[in-house]
Structure 1
Amino acid sequence: MILTTTPNIENFKIVDYLGIVTGTAYNTSYSYKGNKISFKDMFNTSKYYKAYAEGLESLKEQAFQNLKDNALKLGANAVVGIQLDVEPLATSATVLVSITGTAVKVE
């Protein structure tokens, strides 16, 4: 599956627009692969940022996989115009990753 932020794909022709697709994933910003950062490590800047970055990467991968799955359900072989949004949910340590694009058939 081709994924791109651009509205078209070089050397490919879009033959059908199938609809808007979204992939989302959320989790606490203090965990990665089920391992939570300790309270003590929250005050260690390098460990905190490393855990946060690894957790965010994992969430983005989950969201992209959900996006691809939803596009495949529509019969797409590409998604164009992808936009990624990362939002902390109010009053919690949870981060939401949302990816949206247009599912298309290309040849």
Structure 2
Amino acid sequence: MISTTTNSVEGKKIVEYKGIVFGEVVSGVDFIKDFTAGLSNIFGGRSKSYEGELIEARESAIKEMEHRALQLGANAVVGVDIDYEVLGQGGNMLMVTASGTAVVAE
């Protein structure tokens, strides 16, 4: 499955549009990740625990989007966009949404 942020697939012609597809992931951030991120905030540096959570959530959202495109008979997703939102009263939930247009490219 080809997924691209561009509106075309280089070297291929889009012959059919199957529709807009989404992949959503809502992930909770636990106490230990909050604690270690707080230490990074105090002492400086990158928060590896949050970065790992972001990477995992993004990859899962893209895989879900691609799976839904496959179910429609597509072999590519163009115009891919990734959005991030923080949810919950304490801001302890992360939502990642991947969206794009499922297409058949030859």
Identity, % of aligned pairs?
Answer: 38
Cα 1:16–1:104 change in 2 (3 A) is same
Contact 1:22–1:67 (Cα < 8 Å) also in 2: yes
* Structure 2 segments unaligned to the other structure (5+ residues): none
Q: Which digits, 9 at most, give the CA deviation of each residue in 1:68-107, with x for residues without a partner?
A: 1100010000000001001101423000000110000000
Paired residue secondary structure (2:47): helix
> Deviation per CA, 1:18-45, whole angstroms, max 9, x where unpaired?
0000001111234xxxxx6266434311
Match of 1:88 among 86, 94, 98: 86
- Give the secondary-structure state (helix, strand or coil) at the position aligned to 2:7: coil
Aligned length: 102
Task: Say if 1:94 and 1:5 are closer, same or farther in 2 by CA, change over 3 A.
Answer: same
1: distance between equivalents of 2:95 and 2:6?
23
TM-score (norm 2): 0.87
RMSD (CA atoms): 1.9
Unaligned 5+ segments in structure 1 are 31-35
How many angstroms apart in 2 are the aligned matches of 1:104 and 1:39?
Answer: 40
Amino acid of the structure 2 residue aligned with 1:15: V
Q: 1:52: Cα distance to partner? A: 0.3
Change (3 A) 1:14 1:38: closer
Runs of 4 or more, structure 1, over 3 Å off, are: none
Quote the Cα distance in structure 2 between the aligned partners of 1:9 and 1:100: 16
Structure 1 residue 58 corresponds to structure 2 residue 56:
yes
Of Structure 1 and Structure 2, the greater helix share is in 2
